[in-house]
Amino acid sequence: MVKAQLIEAQDRFIASWGRMGSVWGISRTMAEVHALLYITGQPMCTDEIMDRLRVSRGNVSMSVRSLLEWAVIEKVRLPGDRKEYFQAEQDVWSMLRAIARERIKREVDPLLDALDEIGELAPQVGSHSPEDVVALQRRLDGVREGFGLITTLTHKFAGPRGAGLQTAAKLLAKAPVGRSTKHLKSRKGARP
Amino acid sequence: MVKAQLIEAQDRFIASWGRMGSVWGISRTMAEVHALLYITGQPMCTDEIMDRLRVSRGNVSMSVRSLLEWAVIEKVRLPGDRKEYFQAEQDVWSMLRAIARERIKREVDPLLDALDEIGELAPQVGSHSPEDVVALQRRLDGVREGFGLITTLTHKFAGPRGAGLQTAAKLLAKAPVGRSTKHLKSRKGARP
DNA sequence: TACTATTTTCAGATTTTTCTGAAATCTCAT
DNA sequence: ATGAGATTTCAGAAAAATCTGAAAATAGTA
């Protein structure tokens, strides 16, 4: 029975994606709901999701709301049905862009804001500053520069009007680095 | 008193970095220890870290071990002192490379392994495959392709023998994307 | 409007993660 | 080899995150 194998494979995908979710700092259920909608490609309603993942209505409601904020799923209305259905973005690159955008927003932007504040609050560098102060400001600037560049690039390539992650990836993949890449682990079954 | 302001600024940096740690899925203390060592630039021993961050000896021991695995701090021995001291990598780009490497290892590699397994376990596409099966394999391949590229690029630019994140960043920053970047939020006090 | 299917909210329960502290282990100078 | 100082380990405590379920709010239809 092919159907059973199909469900089994979907469930495994859902489990893997869910496990990754925890590493990312998003809840397991939220990741699982996304995985379910992505891997089946079907619009599903709250009850279908609850049944398939064995989680409560409240949990589905909260997970779905977050996923809508992340913009990796959208609401769909089926005519003649009062329920709301949800469908995942099917294009992988759009999905990755959305994830990159949201992660930067959550992980990097708050840090940059804090760095600006700290830099102002800290003693300013003047002509007779003690070495301590100079070093502190230098280190703050270092971090700001690094993460600032990451944010800028993310906006450039993954932002709502960005050039696209695929573009960035191609640029980088082609770039000559003048080193052997033989050490890269080749994956079984990888497509060319 | 400049000293007090200095400590205050350091503490704020430590708190921000620690808060980010939780979003990243690493423990707050681990991030705080790293922040402390980075922002002071000083080699510090276990007791100094305990006192400054108000955490237990065991917690410092475990955090330090993880940071050593991440390769963002290293052990230093001061002559004539029996204690071990720890010092953070001071170059921001090296630090970011180490973080990128470790996060890919923890977040992406396990997913890729799982995807390979699932692809094999799932029904294979043949000439008469039902649409379901074709769609499943197509979606699995999509995810594999996206994350596979991310891993490859990370190895290329952030790996132990990689070309360096700075190189990648420069390549991307220069790349013409043919769009306005005016929408990018400019940060107060940003250095040129 | 009134009715009811559907969704949201959130206090408390459950689960997971992190932290502590003291015992066990290690290590190095003598 | 010995022992004082330093580090690691890990069981249980504490804290944080997640989840449930039912009541409250909302939205669609007649």
Q: What is the C-alpha separation between B89 and B13, in angstroms, rounded?
A: 16
Is there a single domain that holds both residue A84 and residue A107? Answer: no
- Mean pLDDT of the residues in chain B: 88
Domain-embedded: residue B179: no
Instruction: Pick the residue from chain B with its C-alpha nearest to A89.
Output: B139
Domain-embedded: residue A80: yes
Is there a single domain that holds both residue B54 and residue B99? Answer: no
Chain C positions with a protein C-beta closer than 7 Å:
5-11, 16-23, 28-29
Is there a single domain that holds both residue A121 and residue A58? Answer: no
pLDDT at position B178 is: 47
* H-helix or E-strand spanning residue A86: strand A85-88
Q: Is the pLDDT of residue B11 over 90?
A: yes
Q: Which of B10, B93, B172 sits opposite A168 (nearest CB)?
A: B172
SS3 (DSSP) at A75? strand
Domain-embedded: residue A174: no
Is there a single domain that holds both residue B101 and residue B72? Answer: no
Domain-embedded: residue A178: no
pLDDT at position B140 is: 97
Mean pLDDT of B107-112: 93
Sign of CA dihedral A73, A74, A80, A83: positive
Domain that holds residue B101: 92-174
Q: What is the C-alpha separation between A15 and A53, in angstroms, rounded?
A: 10
Q: What is the C-alpha separation between B129 and A77, in angstroms, rounded?
A: 30
Q: Which of A9, A142, A187 sits opposite B116 (nearest CB)?
A: A187
Angular region, B80: left φ>0, alpha ψ -120 to 50, beta rest: left
B20 contacts A110? CB cut-off 8 A: yes
Q: How would you list the strands of the sheet with A85-88, edge to edge?
A: A44-45, A85-88, A73-76
Residue with nearest Cα to nucleotide C20 C1': B56
pLDDT at position B132 is: 93
Domain-embedded: residue B42: yes
Is there a single domain that holds both residue B142 and residue B107? Answer: yes
Q: What is the C-alpha separation between B126 and A165, in angstroms, rounded?
A: 32
Percent of chain B predicted with pLDDT > 90: 70
Provide the number of CB pairs (under 8 Å) joining chain A to chain B: 213
CATH value at residue A46: 1.10.10.10
Which of B1, B30, B118, B147 should we substitute to test contact with A (largest number of A Cβ atoms within 10 Å)? B118
A144 chain-B contacts, CB cut-off 8 A:
190-191
Is there a single domain that holds both residue A115 and residue A156? Answer: yes
Domain-embedded: residue B170: yes
Is there a single domain that holds both residue B75 and residue B13? Answer: yes
Is there a single domain that holds both residue A120 and residue A98? Answer: yes
Which nucleotide is nearest, taking the CA of residue A84 and each C1'?
A: C6
Domain end, chosen from B39, B64, B88, is at B88
Domain-embedded: residue B22: yes
Domain-embedded: residue B107: yes
Nearest to A150 by CA among B22, B103, B70: B103
Domain end, chosen from B69, B88, B107, is at B88
- The one-digit pLDDT tens for each residue of chain A (192 residues) are 888 999 999 999 999 999 999 888 899 999 999 999 999 999 999 999 999 999 999 999 999 999 999 999 999 999 889 999 999 999 999 999 999 999 999 889 999 999 999 999 999 999 999 999 999 999 999 999 999 988 998 888 887 777 777 888 777 777 766 444 444 444 443 433
Helices (H) and strands (E) in chain B, counts: 8, 3
Q: Which two tokens stand for residue B48?
A: 């100094």
Q: Based on the structure, what is the number of domains in chain A?
A: 2
